Structure 1
């Protein structure tokens, strides 16, 4: 027999064995329920303009665990708390990384942030730093003076606008401005100009829009040239160029200006990070790229999500006058005649807190949690899931699951009375801030901003719809995008309350 043929036998055998194994794995993956797909694009056309709603509808037909083919990539969509609990308990670390794409690479400042960076030692150190030095309960509390000052300015602006024209205020714009000014202040310092704050707000909105933008390379790697042809490459480069220039200017001028305004004991995030660069006990080298990544995370993730929730809160209060009265009565009871509600009183506001919980149950600001990707092969619900399979969790659908919520479509804050259900990741059917090792570390910071603003807006003013507008006229549909803000802008008529 030909010696070349004899030598080729083991190679040929290995080749067919590999083909057989791949076919078997493919068959196992195919068992995961999957909607019919089109050639080349797969299921991309089924995402719709508001993906969390489209995917929820698809899950009603194909089950709470679906396999979608989004261009070249396998993507599991989970719409069931039970399945997420299995994933987190058994495979949290397996799904601890993020899919790296052209877009996430840019947004993560070349893998130097927390939100988008891949799983690894660098990410773990960054998250530990954020939790310990930036977002600890002590740090959040130390920034109460900044929240109080910015809130006073918001209330003054509302009062001033009320006295003009027909008394109608553009509350959505005011809330967006308030959150932007507060977050840029506590992160970058009080010396940041109004122009710089507006620029950061614009960059935050642009980043949220970009996350929703479909780049060809991110779905079809071989078609990355189309991103250049369609101008998407230029759009992303312009965004990163403007962002980096803004950030570099702040770093360059920060040392002198921040000390001049704040003195040596500044408590702003950027001061803490710059001080930590010289801390040999930190455990790793904190570079300028790390600082940029962390700052970008907190500004970009913090502004739009916090503002969206606050806007939904005011919307639901106006739609539910009886609940508005309950919130106001509770505020008057704890305020004891004071003009403003202080943060020390927030712990006594039981109804306000359950009201906010109900808002984020029905209107989570991040309805689809940022996608994860499997680091190795694993099993979910008995299905074999290959390495590099993407995972999307539809947290919006969880809030509408009848297995966990009675009358889920109804707005009922009272459902949280006498309940230990919380949003901190232990209750898998209520995870607006994420779950597992990728849970948002800034939830406590965000919630105190929302609670103190909402408490004082309701305490200081009586709110109503403009003349001729009814509750039925309020459109509750979301904007298209990764952040679920309300599409219709909120305009209301405030009247100063008699506190005493």
Structure 2
């Protein structure tokens, strides 16, 4: 459902370009029907989860049930008993959608791109793996406390966000007043898109921009926190993505454990240059062809 939602939100919709005729255009092209079907499936899932917790009584599944959904249902019950206008059933469903959809697809795709690039660059894979296993020596898993010592892994993640930003275009902005930018007159009300994919591959800014080279970030102050405009995969300013800390922690921690727990190789007979790195555009930039790798459990202890 998450994948279908992302496809619907990021796909081409003719009605967006012809607002006065969007209703019948969306009906003819079938977009409206797909949207309604997707909405009903998602709504049914949330309704089932909410009812399950309501029928279980306060605390949901038991005294130890402190899941996000149960807390929301308890708050919803309190709002009703106090007879105040506050959290609604639809509001609970909207928050659950944010929890499920926000960042889930983006972080998964970031890790796919990271593993694809590492598999195509044995030198980088070996160095990242050596660092992770040295820092987490004697342990079966890498934990968050280890991340601050994984400087090369952090450089790998930066390079992934440069080459493969999860969103090729940032959320659109609207110019509030007439201005002039780089010799171009921009009228008030103009919708502006920031092409972070193009910025990350600008030959005037990056040396050999098409190459996967995490070393370019070693000793470099450039980061993706919005202060360096050559690397803005999460945006910048007041509208910067608030999920940066979560994305950074999840991607680095998952990637570190993948490298720590397994040895990775391409399938037999597949050469590095044969790995298809084609992209599919949407809300999240996906790898066109699924990534296939051979994972061998590492002997850690």
Deviation at 1:393, TM superposition (A): 0.9
Unpaired runs of at least 5, structure 1: 1-202
Do the aligned partners of 1:366 and 1:482 also contact (CA within 8 Å) in 2?
yes
Q: Say yes or no: does 1:220 pair with 2:21.
A: no
> Where in structure 2 are the equivalents of 1:282-361 lying within 5 Å?
285-361=86-162
Q: Give me the whole-angstrom Cα distance separating, in 2, the residues matched to 1:431 and 1:491.
A: 29
1:234 paired residue number: 33
CA distance in 2, matches of 1:244, 1:372: 30
Find out whether 1:394 has 2:195 as its counterpart: yes
Which structure 2 residues correspond to residues 182-201 of structure 1 after superposition, within 5 A? none
Check if 1:424 corresponds to 2:222: no
Partner of 1:483: 284
Q: Which residue of 1 aligns with 2:49?
A: 250
- Given that residues 363 and 484 in structure 1 are in contact (C-alpha distance below 8 angstroms), is that contact kept between their aligned partners in structure 2? yes
The answer to whether residue 8 in structure 2 is matched with residue 210 in structure 1 is yes
Secondary structure of 1:429's counterpart equals coil
- Return closer, same or farther for 1:242/1:258 CA change in 2, 3 Å cut-off: farther
Q: Given the alignment, which residue of 353, 367, 374 partners 2:168?
A: 367
Query: Of 227, 233, 240, which aligns to 1:439?
Result: 240
Aligned with 1:449 (options 250, 268, 284) = 250
CA–CA distance in structure 2, aligned partners of residues 406 and 271 of structure 1: 51
Counterpart of 1:379 (choices 155, 161, 179) is: 179
Q: 1:402 to 1:208 in 2, by over 3 A?
A: same
Q: Which of 291, 295, 301 is matched with 1:494 structurally?
A: 295
Map Cα deviations across residues 74-104 of structure 1 (whole Å, 9 max, x no partner): xxxxxxxxxxxxxxxxxxxxxxxxxxxxxxx
Structure holding more helix per residue: 1
Structure 2 spans left out of the alignment, 5+ residues: 80-84
Deviations 1:39-86 (A, max 9, x none): xxxxxxxxxxxxxxxxxxxxxxxxxxxxxxxxxxxxxxxxxxxxxxxx
Q: Secondary structure in 2 aligned to 1:463? A: strand
Cα offset, 1:206, TM superposition: 1.1
Q: 1:272 to 1:370 in 2, by over 3 A?
A: farther
Q: Secondary structure at the match of 2:133?
A: helix
RMSD: 2.4
1:372-430 CA distances to partner (integer Å, 9 max, x unpaired)?
A: 334x3331416553343211110101101233322211211111111222112121221
Distance of aligned partners of 1:274 and 1:386 in 2 relative to their CA distance in 1, 3 Å threshold: farther
- Among residues 63, 69, 88, which one is paired with 1:263 in the alignment? 63
Describe the superposition over 1:92-129 as per-residue Cα deviations: whole angstroms up to 9, x where unpaired: xxxxxxxxxxxxxxxxxxxxxxxxxxxxxxxxxxxxxx
Alignment of 1:83-98 (within 5 A): none
SS of aligned partner of 1:393: coil
Task: Report the counterpart of residue 82 of structure 2 in structure 1.
Answer: none
- Structure 1 residue 210, shift from structure 2 partner: 1.0
TM-score by length of 2: 0.87
How far did residue 454 of structure 1 move?
1.1
In 2, the alpha carbon distance for the partners of 1:329 and 1:380 equals: 50
**CA contact 1:216–1:223 (8 Å) conserved in 2:** no
SS of residue paired to 1:462: strand
Tell me the residue number matched to 2:264. Answer: 463
Task: Quote how far apart the aligned CAs of 1:292 are.
Answer: 2.7
* Partner SS state of residue 360, structure 1: helix
Aligned-pair CA distance for 1:265: 6.7
**Deviations for 1:189-244, whole angstroms, at most 9, x for unmatched residues?**
xxxxxxxxxxxxxx211121112333232111232212222322212121222222
Bigger relative CO (Cα 8 Å, ≥ 6 apart): 1
Aligned pair count reads 292
Give 1:471 deviation, angstroms: 0.6
Counterpart-to-counterpart distance in 2, 1:370 and 1:257: 41
TM-score, normalised by the number of residues in structure 1: 0.54
2 CA distance for matches of 1:291 and 1:260? Answer: 15
Match of 1:491, SS state, is: coil
Q: Distance in 2 between matches of 1:458 and 1:492?
A: 13
1:25 alignment partner in structure 2: none
Write the distance in 2 (CA, Å) between the matches of 1:445 and 1:285: 28
Structure 1 segment 89-128 matched on structure 2, within 5 A: none
Q: CA deviation at 1:264?
A: 4.8
Deviation track 1:322-345 (CA, whole Å, cap 9, x = no partner) reads 111111111221112112212221
